[in-house]
Structure 1
Amino acid sequence: MISRKSRKSWFSTPTYQLVPKRQGFRFKGLILATAALVGMISVWDIFTQPPQPSTMPTLNTPALPKSIDLLANQDWSHVAGVQVKSDGSLGITPLRRAIVSLDGNSYQPNPPVAINAPHLEVSGEFRITAALADTGENVKIQFYGAVPVIYDEWRTQPPSIQLSISENQLAVMIWDGSDSSPSEEHTFKVSMNRSAKLEMENSTGSLTLKLDGRLVGFLSDHEVFSGGQVWFGFDGSREWTLHQLRAEAQGDGKLRLVSPPSMEASQVETGSLRGLAAKQPRSLAIGTALSFNALFADESYRTLALGQFSMLTTENELKPQFIHPQPDIYSFAEADSLIGTGLANGMKVHGHTLVFGEANPKWMRDSPPTQLRQIMVDHIKTVVGHYKGKISSWDVVNEPLADNKSGDTTSPDLRQHIWYRAMGEQYIDIAFKTAREADPNAKLYINDWGLEADGDRWDSLLALVARLKQRGVPIDGIGFQAHVYKDGDHIDPATLRRHIKTLANLGLASRISEIDVHGENQQVQASQYSGVLQVCLAEPTCTAFSTWGIADKYGSTTEIGSYPLELGDDLLWDSTLQPKPAYRALQNILRPK
């Protein structure tokens, strides 16, 4: 994905820390309890009357259960960082994931959310009880009122409540969905052993927290659950165990357990992009970059993803900061679910990305240069080997070309990131050779932006390819990202076609890998999309036409750090998942003449 330096950065959004901040609390005073037998007085801090109630939706389903065991007979095995034990409890391996900013100087926490696992629909009052073990250090449980969206380089903070438990404190952070920072946070002094029972009760606009049956305090619920849903997330500082997770309706409250959705499309429509492309004289994959969270949480998005496209690109799940968050941890669960869904629906899978100057976890960026070659080789072997025979093509190296021509004759216009600084241009050779050894049948690509036009970037790419071919590097093709971000941008179909032909003469395939087009003028947008598709159809070495997302609701050109969200307009479906003229234009190109 191209680095959009003109977009507002979120690095001003702080990485949050647990610090006392007694906003929104009122002390009634001290209630004294006299222990007559031992002659002692104990003092408890408690908080006064709960805030006003929030409006909750009503569930009309009859005969709903009053109590739900969320672990018994439920499948949690596909959740990142979770291992289901023989007794049905969940072993939690904290991933401590974070999304790195574009400049690499700040990190936004990205804890896992159990999206492809059971969640709750709720109405009215309810209580959730969690029994924990091995809690010697920081244990985190988060209750989400909505699923977060990851917009390529940043993650929204939906309404949620995070409880962090350690030996002597319970830290609470509450987000109301209006900002990346918590709207309220507080730290309570507690005393606990290596196991604990945590209770959170939502009632008339307030939260009541208890630990091992003892009252901890009251907080405003900030309408976190006003949407009628509860999703779960688990993280921490060291491994711990969740023995019980139970929800109980209180008073007139209602609960319903929601299992993960079926991930198979009922039928591919003949008028879909996928269905129409299948009728073409030669096979052309029609692909898109898929959002894992949206795929499992949004039925309308899922219908489009599985029904319209014959290839998926992993938008985020294979980037190192997601799949290799710690030196000794590979987290395959989310990528496995995404890729498995694609394969089950007859889709090819394109892996994005193995080596990139961005999207690397902090531990990787901070490693000594002398260790980076082995880190890169081990990472490629492990990830490509895990998906051998499942992923048909890879972006082995993403965006190797420098953003601007340097003028330095000792540097052949390549980005000066951690891999280049450690190994020079040879990092590309090593990456491709390692990927080829790990899966000899997968097609291996360089992926970059700005290659559709003549100029320095195109010249630099051709020079790089010539050097790689001369050294026997096993490269199979080039990905044209084909981003059109603003009015001044434009892809000339004739130039693009000439470039694809040039690569074909060098023995390389091409793919349109990430096309999205600024949509202020929808007719111009439609013309750009359809013109590029026509070129790809006309050139036999163009193997795929893939968009960088499906709908503006989840598009990567959403303004970073914007609350409320400032959505982009670059994709084929709008923010309500309705088709645009660009979609109709692609249909028309693909229809048999």
Structure 2
Amino acid sequence: MLRIFAALLLAAGTPPAAHAPLDLLAGQDWSHFAGATQTADGVQIRPLDRWIVATEGQRSQPNPPVNLLGPRLVVNGTFQVDATMSGSGYLQLYGSPPIIYDEWRQEPPSVRVGVIDGKLDVAVWNGKADKPVQAKKFGSGLSGDVAVRVKRSGSTFEFSAGGRQLGTLADPGVFSSGHVWFGADGAWKLKSLTATGATGIRKAPEWKQKTVSGSLRSRAEALPRKVGVGSALAVAPLVADDQYRATAGEQFNLITPENDMKPQFVQPTRGVFAFEEADAIVDFARANNIAVHAHTLVWFEALPTWMRSASDKKTVMTDHIKAVAGHFKGRVTEWDVVNEPMNEDNSDGLEHNLWYQAMGADYIAQAFRAARAVDPSAVLYLNEYGAEAEGPRWKALYALVKKLKQDGVPIDGVGLQSHEYEAGDRVPAETFRKHVRALADLGLKVRVSEMDVVTSDQALQAKQFGERLAVCRQESNCTGFTSWGFTDRYGSTATTNRYPALPGNALPWTSSITPKKAHTAMVDALRNGS
């Protein structure tokens, strides 16, 4: 009997010894981590100095990167993480990835350790505030290769460096999710990273998702004239939320990165690019045969502060276009080249933003020409809000794009955002159709680019979504329909700057990612023959 039992153990494979350290560098993916370079002797971290920038242009929150596609620990009970750190910077352990809501980063529970000025600098976030609830410095004289340990034992974090325990802080339940994600910032090298007591390592999810009959994408692709039906997507839930990822893959044939291609994310410091999060969204799209509408190259918001203060604005703008459009060349189908250039209150109908102040109205034409030179095959759009309705904003937009066409500027289309935040934003379907046709007469494509409808009345919401998509389907120059997110769980109309964020009600799926009446109306709008 003993021989049989031993043979069964051999056949099954001997389990690892209890609490055997898990190596989080060897064979793991750190190549998709913004600001990091994987080397033969570890991971080199470079400072991105990346921030969330408020609408007014000032820095509001630091936005250090998280290794979303790298190793994620599965933990329960006591465990410890050991790192060898060389240089000055931080290693941050998150219970979940941060969620970005335009001008706000929802800070999840985390614990951060760093070697700063010879001391062990530690901080703990509880997931209920932007700033840490505990912060302390321990020890002194730390230099060179420093062995740092973070141990969770019961409700306490124990911090060690150089083989000595230096202090403790209370654990407010940072890893109650059962996972540990890794982030880093600063200028230093991570020479080793192991975990003891963890139950396993989860790697990045498979991008390829199942397709289903009767979905929005299957109906759109079955039409005699294929129409893009899509959503804006955010990278953190795309990686961390299985239901979000599955729904995005099965429902859409067109996606727009909601934030991850905006200048403050991809070029936080002049000449320093961080494409990894945007690359992840593009890779997901390509794995599922989804077209990418890229957003956005030139805007006066979501800019890193260095862009605002630079004296050579023309060079900044054209260099940014060359670098960003060049990076994604061949992998994205369309670009929002210039975003929201209109202001009907000015005599020329244009927003007199920092680009306008540097170059005049010609910055728009220069941006389009630069984008065309970099990626001749991409379809180039101007994207604007509030121009769906009749009135001076529409007239100013029409006059602008008409002149751009007359001047030979390589503009291919106009995105009409279609945000409906209040009753006054509702636009009759036939008004929208009239504008689509007016742009068709100029030889321009049109897309519904950012639709959301803020209302608790699901029937009204369904009517607005369904009618807008039906017009787009019926007008031959309307190439795509995109909602600004698809689930209220992560929608940009959430009430933010509070914990937790209060979900909005503007999108076709609820915060539990179940379809609303708006989804049914969109499916109906795509029925062949409707």
Offset at residue 475 of structure 1 (A) = 0.6
Partner of 2:3: none
Structure 2 contact 83–147 (Cα < 8 Å) conserved: yes
Q: 2:112 aligns with which of 131, 138, 162?
A: 162
Q: 2:80 aligns with which of 107, 127, 143?
A: 127
Q: 1:561 aligns with which of 497, 505, 528?
A: 497
Change (3 A) 1:194 1:417: farther
Q: 2:516 aligns with which of 570, 580, 587?
A: 580
Partner of 2:314: 373
TM-score by length of 1: 0.85
Partner of 2:32: 78
Structure 1 contact 452–492 (Cα < 8 Å) conserved: no
Q: Residue type matched to 1:259 in 2?
A: K
Partner of 1:325: 268
Partner of 2:428: 492
Change (3 A) 1:522 1:64: farther
Offset at residue 148 of structure 1 (A) = 1.0
Offset at residue 78 of structure 1 (A) = 1.1
Q: 1:242 aligns with which of 190, 209, 220?
A: 190
Partner of 1:382: 323
Q: Residue type matched to 1:247 in 2?
A: A
Partner of 2:43: 90
Over residues 10-49 of structure 1, what are the superposed CA-to-partner deviations in whole Å (9 max), with x where a residue is unaligned?
xxxxxxxxxxxxxxxxxxxxxxxxxxxxxxxxxxxxxxxx
Q: Distance in 2 between matches of 1:585 and 1:559?
A: 26
Partner of 1:334: 277
Offset at residue 321 of structure 1 (A) = 0.5
Structure 2 contact 30–38 (Cα < 8 Å) conserved: yes
Unaligned runs of 5+ in 2: 1-14
1:101 and 2:54 correspond = yes
Q: Distance in 2 between matches of 1:106 and 1:385?
A: 28
Partner of 2:12: none
Q: Distance in 1 between matches of 2:256 and 2:26?
A: 34
Partner of 2:376: 440
SS in 2 for 1:434: helix
Q: Distance in 1 between matches of 2:249 and 2:461?
A: 24
Change (3 A) 1:64 1:463: farther
Offset at residue 64 of structure 1 (A) = 8.4
SS in 1 for 2:273: coil
Aligned CA-pair RMSD: 1.4
Q: Distance in 2 between matches of 1:259 and 1:273?
A: 30
SS in 1 for 2:479: strand
Q: 2:129 aligns with which of 179, 183, 194?
A: 179
Structure 2 contact 467–525 (Cα < 8 Å) conserved: no
Q: 1:545 aligns with which of 472, 477, 481?
A: 481
SS in 2 for 1:225: coil
Structure 2 contact 239–245 (Cα < 8 Å) conserved: yes
1:513 and 2:449 correspond = yes
Q: Residue type matched to 2:335 in 1?
A: W
Offset at residue 65 of structure 1 (A) = 5.5
Q: Distance in 2 between matches of 1:477 and 1:586?
A: 23
Partner of 1:532: 468
Partner of 1:394: 335
Offset at residue 86 of structure 1 (A) = 2.6
The aligned length equals 514
Partner of 2:7: none
Structure 1 contact 64–255 (Cα < 8 Å) conserved: no
Change (3 A) 1:65 1:358: farther
SS in 1 for 2:489: helix
Offset at residue 106 of structure 1 (A) = 3.2
1:315 and 2:239 correspond = no
Bigger Cα displacement from structure 2, 572-581 vs 161-170: 161-170
Q: Distance in 2 between matches of 1:160 and 1:585?
A: 41
1:68 and 2:22 correspond = yes
Partner of 1:201: 151
Q: Residue type matched to 2:468 in 1?
A: V
Q: Residue type matched to 2:404 in 1?
A: L
Structure 2 contact 59–305 (Cα < 8 Å) conserved: no
Q: Distance in 2 between matches of 1:63 and 1:483?
A: 55
Bigger Cα displacement from structure 2, 539-548 vs 553-562: 553-562
Partner of 1:284: 227
Offset at residue 175 of structure 1 (A) = 1.1
Over residues 390-410 of structure 1, what are the superposed CA-to-partner deviations in whole Å (9 max), with x where a residue is unaligned?
1111000000012x513xx3x
Q: 2:163 aligns with which of 193, 196, 213?
A: 213
Q: 1:263 aligns with which of 204, 207, 212?
A: 207
Offset at residue 330 of structure 1 (A) = 1.0
Over residues 539-577 of structure 1, what are the superposed CA-to-partner deviations in whole Å (9 max), with x where a residue is unaligned?
000000111102111101111202122111111111111
Structure 1 contact 152–556 (Cα < 8 Å) conserved: yes
Offset at residue 63 of structure 1 (A) = 6.7
Q: Distance in 1 between matches of 2:425 and 2:365?
A: 32
Structure 1 contact 294–301 (Cα < 8 Å) conserved: yes
Offset at residue 107 of structure 1 (A) = 2.6
Offset at residue 187 of structure 1 (A) = 2.3
Decide which structure has greater helix share: 2
Unaligned runs of 5+ in 1: 1-61
Change (3 A) 1:65 1:77: farther
Over residues 199-244 of structure 1, what are the superposed CA-to-partner deviations in whole Å (9 max), with x where a residue is unaligned?
00100100110111122101101111122111110111x3x21111
Structure 2 contact 120–161 (Cα < 8 Å) conserved: no
Q: Distance in 1 between matches of 2:411 and 2:528?
A: 34
Bigger Cα displacement from structure 2, 337-346 vs 182-191: 182-191
Partner of 1:405: 345
Offset at residue 487 of structure 1 (A) = 3.2
Q: 2:389 aligns with which of 453, 473, 487?
A: 453
Partner of 2:286: 343
Moved over 3 A (4+): 62-65
Q: Distance in 1 between matches of 2:35 and 2:44?
A: 8
* % identity of equivalent residues: 43
1:296 and 2:269 correspond = no
Q: Distance in 2 between matches of 1:258 and 1:333?
A: 19
1:116 and 2:63 correspond = no
Q: Residue type matched to 1:355 in 2?
A: V
